Structure 1
Amino acid sequence: MTYALTQQHPSKRAFITGAASGLGKAFCIELAQDGWTLGIADMNIDQLNIAAKEFESLGAKTICFHLDVSNREQYQKVAVDFLEKVGGIDLLFNNAGVGDGGMFEEYSLDNWEWMTRVNQFSVIYGCHFFIPTFKKQKSGHILNTASLAAISCAPTMGAYNVTKAAVVAISETLYCELMDHNVKVSCLQPAYFKTNIAQGGRGGEIVKKTTQFFIDHSRLEAKEVAQEILHRAGKGELYIILPKAAEKQWKMKRLAPTWYRKMVKVKFLEAARRAFR
C-alpha cells in the first residue's frame, strides 16, 4: 500500500518515538514498505535495534536513537542529530507514552510528575525542537498520540486522562498556528487496542488488571490502528478517533455530558469486576 502521506512528502523522512513496540512499531512497519527513512527512538535500545532490522528488511533506511523522551537535553541532541543526518523532516510521530493510574488522592505526586514528563512534555519537546524546521521547509505533518481517555476520562485514570487531554490541546493549538505554514497536525485518539501499555505502569493491581481487561477484549490490533491513522492523516484530519464506536462516544459526550459521565463509571466498574473474576 502506498499512502497519500508518501505521495505528499517525496523526501520520505520520519521521526518516531516509542518505535520499538506497539503503535510506534506498527507505524514504522507501514512506512518501511513505502521506503521511508526512519529516525526511530526508544528507551529500550536492544529491542529497538531488533526492530530496525525488521524495518530495513521491508525497505526502510533506519537511524536508531536511544532516547528518554522526558529528558529535554537528550531530546534536543537527538533532534539536532536526526536533522543533520537527513537534512529535514516530513513526519513527526510524538508517540511514546506510558499508561498508569490510581484513585486521585492515592496516586503519588511523584507518579503524577513522571506521567506528565513522559506523556505530555515529550510531545511539547518534540514539537518545540522540530517546528522551526517544519516552518522553514513550509511542509510537514505532526502526528501526536493522545487517547480516547482524553474524551472518556474514566475513574482511577486521572493522571493519564489529564496528560492525554493536554496532547489534544497542544494539537488543536498547533493546528491553528501552523496552517499558514503548510504544516498539518493530527491528534490520534484510539480506544484500547492490543498493546503492552499496561505493563509499564506504577499504579495498583486494580488499574493494571482492569486496563489489561479492556486490552484483551479489544478487537483492534496495532497494525490496523496504524493503517487507519496513516490513511486519515493523509486526508489532513485533525481528530483521528477510532474505531467508529469511539467516535460515537465523542458525540454522546458532547450531546449528553452528564449521562455520559455516569455511563463511563458504570462501564469501568463492570470491567473491574470482570477483570478480577
Structure 2
Amino acid sequence: MSTQEKLLKRDSFIERGARSRARALLDPGSMRELLDPFCGVASPWLPQQGVTAQADDGVVVAKGLFNGQSTVVLAIEGAYQGGSMGEVGGAKIAGALELAAEDNRRGIPTRAVILFETGGVRLQEANLGLAAIADIQAAIVDLRRYQPVIGITAGTVGCYGGMSIAAGLCSYLIVTREARLGLNGPAVIEQEAGLAEFNSRDKPFIWSLTGGEQRYHSGLVDAYVGDDTVQIRGTLAGLFQRGLPAQHRSAQADGFLARLAEVDASVQAAPETVRSIYSKGYAA
C-alpha cells in the first residue's frame, strides 16, 4: 500500500474536535457527557471583556467505558481560545478527576484520559485560570495513586504553560509527530530571550526541539504514534494494561536535575545535543 493510500485510509485524530475525540476513544455507545453545552455553564468573565463565551468553555467531560472499564475522558478544544484554561473549564477537569479518585476510594475503579490541546492559562481570567490549573494538578496526583492518568497531545495547538506541568504529572504521555510539548511557547521564548535564542517563525526548528518525535526520543513521553484514531486507542489500551508505573516521571526530580546540569546554556540548544543528554535516563 502506498503512502498516499495509507493516508486516505487512516482515521485522523487531529482532524476531530474535542467531543469527537472523546467519543472515538470510549467504547461505542458508552459516552455520557457531563455539563454539556445545554447546561449553559460558560465563563462569566469573557463577555465583560468583549469575548464571546462558549457554552462548554472549551472543555468536554465524557464519562463512559474504555474496554469495559469506567473511564473519564477530559478533552480540551484547542480551536476555542487556543485551548486556554479559565475558571469554568479548569473546574470541569479538576472536578471530574476528583470524582474519579472518589470512585476509586469507594471501590469503583475509574481511570482518566486528558486530551491536552492548550496554551495554558487563559490570560483574560489570569489568577482564576492559574488556580484552576493548580486544582487540576492536585487532582491528577490524587487519582494516579489508584489508576493511571494518561495524557494525549496530538495537535495542532500543542501543550504549553501550566498545563504542560499537568501533563508532566500524568502516569503516561502519548504524542504524535504533529504534537508539541513545552513550558513556554515559541513566541514567549522569543519575546523574553530574543530572536537569536528562539525564532518563533522557524517551524522546523520548533518541532526539532519541542515536537512529539523529539520529546519521545528524549524520554519525556512514553509513546509516539501516528495520527490515526485506531492506533492511538490501541496505544492507550496498552498503557492502561501496563498499570501504574513503578515511579512517576515527576518523582524523578534528582535525575532530571542531573540531566539539566549537563545543558550548556551559553549556546543555542541543538536537537541532537538535547536528545543525547535527556535520553540517558532520570533515575536518581
TM-score range, shorter chain: 0.3 to 0.5
TM-score, normalised to structure 2's length?
0.40
Give the structure with the larger helix fraction: 1
- Structure scoring higher RCO (CA < 8 A, sep ≥ 6) equals 1
